[in-house]
Amino acid sequence: MAKQKKGKTISNLDKTIGRVVGIETQNPSEFRMKISDFMEQYKSYAEAFGLTGNPSVKPHVKREDLEFYHDICKEENATDYICATRTLLAGYWYTHRVVYTFTEETLDFLDKEMDIDNFRLNISTLQRAATEEPILIELPPGYPIQKAFLGRVSFFSEATGKATELDALDFCIFACLVKKEKTLALIGASADMPVSQYIQSRTQILDGHGEEVCFLTRLVVYIAYMKGMQDTKDTVFVEEPIKNGVRFKVLPAHAESPTADESCEAGWIRAGLAPVMGYYDRMNMIRDFSSDLSAWSPEKSSCDIDDTDASMRAFLERVVLSWESNRNLYGFNNELALSAALDMVIDVLSSGISSDLLDYMPYNVMAFYPTESNAFMTALISRCSLKGGRRGVYLIVLTRPDECSSVCYFGEDEPLIEGKLERWSEEIDADAALVLGIFKYTLTILRRKALRKMNSSGQPNPPNPHLPEKKLPIPSAPIIRQGGDISDIIPIAMYDLTKRAIKRVPRKEEARRSGWKMTPHTRRRHPHRYWVGSGENRRQEIRWLESIHINKQSEDAVPAVTVHEVK
């Protein structure tokens, strides 16, 4: 007797999306019928709202559907609004599945090594990055939620905020928390605040569900943060194709060198320019940039900078590597920016910066950053060669990777602005102009100091020679510390700019300002030299040290704060 074919079962992903949209049946044929009805409802909403593609974009509502659209967005119809949002997101996801599966190891990593609860990054930016399309998050058993479905839409109900404030909203986040015993749906407007403040506010507002929402927020932040890094896209997210979509196995982000401390404004300093350039691990950035420059053909480097994107990128990488091999930071406060620097801005715009003054640069690349600003910004300045062999000045004002950076370059002894100075803001970015004013002010102070030192020593003042034309060599990858662990402390030189002088920041203060702390890690088995004996018999011997846990403590240990002095 032939065996009868079994009916198709409901897949785990289908069961999950069924719970999200309210289809609880376990009968396969009944489920298929109900999901078919749901997809028809999705198509009608998508066509009415002009969202047949990605539901996160702005809706384009047809004239005949405007009344229906405005009705759903009224405050008294908040339930209909939630239903429409859920339908648009879940219906799109059903045919464009994106799944993130967290492992136990990754969740342990988040709990013990990433201080997401104190991140100062903007939660709205991270939510946007994580939900480019609707996503489903899967978790191992034993956590506050089993699965979470979430996405965003760019149309709003009056219930999400006061009517006068709706124009200021960016998007609304819909989340469905799938627990063992029940399913919880939540929706809210994007919040323009740091992650730390957002997590704290969710705990206070969502009485009874704060733990689950905060837990989900940490997962969303981790996904978005690692998606934004050049070196973690392929190592943290392991791709596995599935029917109608893709599943990403989410792994821990281990690093060889110190990573950014996102819990403080100056936390990027300990990781150098890596977080600014979109890298989680500084050593990955150095390897990539060194490889890029090695492949840069000699004939293309006859001019350090021209108007091509490839030339600009190559020179930027060269500047970053040069700074990473000789780190320096010149901090300026608001008082300096509003007084001495502004006095210099017009001078720079109208007359440029002379070669004589540029000869007093103490580093090949100098970095400037505001010490009192809430927004991240740092600027790199370097001398360069322009098209035709002219000597020039290169400036890039760096922001976070998701924001726009400003680049300008101009010839030495040449004005930046041609024409009326009153319209300078149309030709150069305000931050770039300010930094150039501070840069010229700094060089003026350095020249004055150098000349004063020569006069006090009785040496004659040097003539005012112009440096001969020379090509800037491509710097090799900086050596962090030969024979040591690359997680060891990286030297840095900090300076405070004041109205009258440049002050070197003491080493202990440098460590405090940069929020220095050793990232927990395991140092591999390695050789170490020890002095043994005394007198004439004193000699070095090589001994192998076994693996050492750095900054990893048992759960019963009292947490300790270790301050490392930068040397």
HSE-CB at 142 with a 13 A cutoff on CA atoms is: 6
Q: What is the model's pLDDT at position 536?
A: 65
Instruction: Find the mean pLDDT for residues 430-438.
Output: 88
Q: What is the model's pLDDT at position 462?
A: 55
Selected residue with higher pLDDT from 445 and 566: 445
- Let me know: does 80 contact 72? Beta carbons within 8 Å: yes
Q: What is the model's pLDDT at position 209?
A: 78
515 DSSP assignment = T
Its pTM stands at 0.80
206 — pLDDT class (breaks 50, 70, 90):
low
pLDDT at 163 over 90: no
pLDDT at 421 over 90: no
Top mean pLDDT of 158-172, 425-439, 486-500 is at 425-439
Q: Report the alpha-carbon distance of residue 273 to residue 398 in Å, rounded.
A: 9
**482-499 b/e (C-beta count within 10 Å ≥ 16 → b):** eeeebbebbebbbbbbee
554 — pLDDT class (breaks 50, 70, 90):
very low
Parse the chain into domains and list their residue ranges: 12-250, 269-419+426-456
pLDDT at 564 over 60: no
By mean pLDDT, which of 190-204, 238-252, 385-399, 407-421 is the weakest? 407-421
| Phi, psi torsion values for 82, nearest 5 degrees | -65, -40
Q: What is the model's pLDDT at position 546?
A: 64
pLDDT at 543 over 70: no
pLDDT at 237 over 70: yes
Instruction: Find the mean pLDDT for residues 442-451.
Output: 90
* Helix, strand, coil % in the chain, rounded to nearest 5: 40, 20, 40
Q: What is the model's pLDDT at position 211?
A: 86
- Calculate the average pLDDT of the chain: 81
pLDDT at 176 over 90: yes
Instruction: Find the mean pLDDT for residues 453-478.
Output: 52
Give the closest residue to 221 by CA, choosing from 199, 192, 245. 199
Give the closest residue to 232 by CA, choosing from 106, 99, 327. 106
- Let me know: does 487 contact 519? Beta carbons within 8 Å: yes
pLDDT at 405 over 60: yes
